[in-house]
Structure 1
Amino acid sequence: MEQISTFGASRTTVRDLQLFRDEADPAVATILADCAVVRVARGERISNHGQARVYIVLSGLLEIAPEADAGDEGSTRRVLPGESAGEQAVLDDAAEQAAMTALEDSELLVIEAAMVWTLIERSNVLARNLLRLLSFRIRAANALLRRRQKVGEFYRQLSLNDGLTGLYNRAWLNEMLPKLVARAAHDGRPLSLVMIDLDHFKRFNDTHGHIAGDGALAAAAGVLRNALRPSDFAVRYGGEEMMALLPDTPQDLAVMVAERLCKRLRGAVVFSDMRLALPHVTGSFGVACLAPGSDGDALMAAADAALYRAKEQGRNRVCC
């Protein structure tokens, strides 16, 4: 970067600059006259040597990207002729943290921080344009932040759902079960859990293949999802194990829900192509209700013990 002239020798007029749009005071041009105009080669990184400055592009094109440690990747912007960069650094009285690079051979007007403040005190037009510019950038930054939050929430939801069945997964359970238990204890309301294990599923997979097994899991998940209330939660715990969390549901009602699920699972059509002659899928169900002073681990242990009894008694049944 080398100085080639001063602004007083430049062909650009004050009104061509975004920050000085509608400025009619000739004293502003006089103040700017001694400011340096520098030439920057294409690809050259602009260094401010730790000093806050405003750079106005007279010709060419700049790209501004935050430093890697600024935590703001992805918000690069381009500065066209007449536009400026570095205003925030001057207002903060801090060195510019953004990385500025010339995308073309460019000429820049350089205004030192002290000169910027002199101009702000002299020119109401500059102050107004600066406020308008910063307001626009704040709105743009907020819009970018909202988009990132939506994308982040989208991927967070993906991380909490099982890709095969669409049910909530174990990560969701680890996060939400303690909250559901705490809410139930605080409100003095029942919380029931139905644990489900598809019967002889390993044998099913070994006999018919994993693709058929995935179809059976998806069908079982559909039965579970469609039989529950909007306030209930269906979870794939792992492998062929699933569960239903039933807020505000006492144990006797939870047993009725489990009996309905067991019946519907027996009658579910796993594969529409009957030439496959695959058996229906059945499940063993264990039901438990949150005991006073208990926690989520105890609730799951109780449901698992009930599930084990259902298997011992011949599977395809409900125990509590």
Structure 2
Amino acid sequence: MEHFKDFRHTNFKVGDIQLFKNISKDELLKIKQQLDYCPVVTAKSGEIVLDSQSSGACLYVVLSGILALTSNTSKRQLENSTIQYFAGECVGEISVLDEEASTATIAAVTDAQLLLIDSVIMWRLIDDSNGVARNLLQLLSFRIRTTNAQLRNRQKVGEFYRQLSMVDGLTGLHNRSWLNTQLPGLIENAHATQTELSIVMVDLDHFKKFNDQHGHVMGDEALQVAAKVVSAGLRPSDFAARYGGEEMIIILPNTSKESALIVAERLCDRIRHAQVFKDSDQALPHITASLGLATLTEGQDGLAVISSADAALYRAKERGRNQVAL
């Protein structure tokens, strides 16, 4: 940054600086006397004004141009920054107060003229004027609220993408990652509360034959239809996930073997009658489901109860498919 002139040689009014708003004329006159010999510098577009490498505690007041909080000084990044500073606003107040290096990077979006108020003068202004101290506190309060809002937004975005990563893109059910993350907790809770938990494994019968006959696009649609049938047939407290390929897994918390059997048989029947070809009356052609049911027993973990449900699934297949087995 180049030293351009001092504050005496600008047309900028002290009262237009955010930090000196709503202060009496007499106080503004004293403040101007303190600022008159403070340097005014020019920052070129893209130039870093303040970062962790900046030397000396100093407040920067924007007299013209625009600054932005950024992690990248490319023109596009600067222009799209959600936090920008315009004429009358200031940056660097934290560094003045704690005399530590800045933790943020501030750069010029456009060519900008900046008034530099060093820490000695800034502290003198704070000591001499309750109005300056009040405005500084209000500014810091606004900065804290803005930072907190950003953190909340980042948390929401992070949670959105975390949830998105737990959903199977084809069926809309939870995916295997979700299952691996959530099932241990559900199992642990069932053991701790001594409540029943049942698992149902669902496998679409002869699905390879269906794909070979009707194509993989129609096969995907058949899988989506079956997944919708499963989702629609569950309570809000139940869970369904795509286990892999054409296999799905259903978790029924607080559900006995007898109640789970009713759920499984209902789903088996609904899949049998579900319609894939929307442009005809043909039901799922040659697509039915085999379901295996197991209920958590004392000492079992997630892998063990899934293994039990999987063994029951193979018994359903061995008995002719299109049915539920325990």
* Residue 179 to residue 101, structure 1, CA distance change in 2 (3 Å): same
Q: Is 1:40–2:46 an aligned residue pair?
A: no
| 33-42 vs 50-59, which moves further | 33-42
The correspondence of residues 81-92 of structure 1 with structure 2, limited to 5 A, is 81-92=87-98
* Residue 289 to residue 75, structure 1, CA distance change in 2 (3 Å): farther
CA distance in 2 between counterparts of 1:230 and 1:40 reads 58
**CA apart distance, 1:66:** 4.2
**CA apart distance, 1:259:** 1.4
- Structure 1 partner of 2:145: 139
- Structure 2 partner of 1:170: 176
Report the secondary structure of 2:124's partner residue: helix
Q: Is 1:28–2:31 an aligned residue pair?
A: yes
* Residue 280 to residue 273, structure 1, CA distance change in 2 (3 Å): farther
* Residue 97 to residue 304, structure 1, CA distance change in 2 (3 Å): same
| 205-214 vs 265-274, which moves further | 265-274
5+ residue gaps, structure 2, are: none
- Give the letter for the 2:57 counterpart: A
Report the secondary structure of 1:194's partner residue: strand
| Preserved CA contact (<8 Å) 2:65 2:111 | yes
Report the secondary structure of 1:221's partner residue: helix
Residue by residue over 1:254-288, the C-alpha shift from the partner in whole angstroms, topping out at 9 and shown as x without a partner, is: 12221111112111122222377861421111100
* Residue 97 to residue 67, structure 1, CA distance change in 2 (3 Å): farther
CA distance in 2 between counterparts of 1:104 and 1:184 reads 61
**CA apart distance, 1:110:** 0.4
- Give the letter for the 2:263 counterpart: V
- Structure 1 partner of 2:122: 116
- Structure 2 partner of 1:51: 56
5+ residue gaps, structure 1, are: none
Q: Is 1:64–2:69 an aligned residue pair?
A: yes
CA distance in 2 between counterparts of 1:224 and 1:104 reads 57
* Residue 183 to residue 314, structure 1, CA distance change in 2 (3 Å): same
After TM superposition, the score normalised by the length of structure 1 is 0.91
Report the secondary structure of 2:12's partner residue: coil
- Give the letter for the 2:70 counterpart: A
- Structure 2 partner of 1:318: 324
| Preserved CA contact (<8 Å) 1:269 1:280 | no
Residue by residue over 1:13-47, the C-alpha shift from the partner in whole angstroms, topping out at 9 and shown as x without a partner, is: 32121111123313222222221122233343336
CA distance in 1 between counterparts of 2:92 and 2:67 reads 12
Residue by residue over 1:168-213, the C-alpha shift from the partner in whole angstroms, topping out at 9 and shown as x without a partner, is: 1111111110011011001100000000111110111111100110
- Give the letter for the 1:32 counterpart: L
- Structure 2 partner of 1:180: 186
| Preserved CA contact (<8 Å) 1:251 1:289 | yes
| Preserved CA contact (<8 Å) 1:66 1:75 | no
- Give the letter for the 1:5 counterpart: K
CA distance in 1 between counterparts of 2:141 and 2:283 reads 68
**Which residue of 153, 162, 171 corresponds with 2:159?**
153
CA distance in 2 between counterparts of 1:77 and 1:278 reads 55
| Preserved CA contact (<8 Å) 1:67 1:98 | no
CA distance in 1 between counterparts of 2:315 and 2:110 reads 75
| Preserved CA contact (<8 Å) 2:173 2:242 | yes
- Give the letter for the 2:69 counterpart: I
| 20-29 vs 285-294, which moves further | 20-29
- What's the Cα RMSD here? 2.2
CA distance in 1 between counterparts of 2:194 and 2:68 reads 59
Residue by residue over 1:137-177, the C-alpha shift from the partner in whole angstroms, topping out at 9 and shown as x without a partner, is: 22222222222222222222221111221111111111110
Provide the identity percentage: 52
Instruction: Give the number of aligned pairs.
Output: 316
- Give the letter for the 2:107 counterpart: T
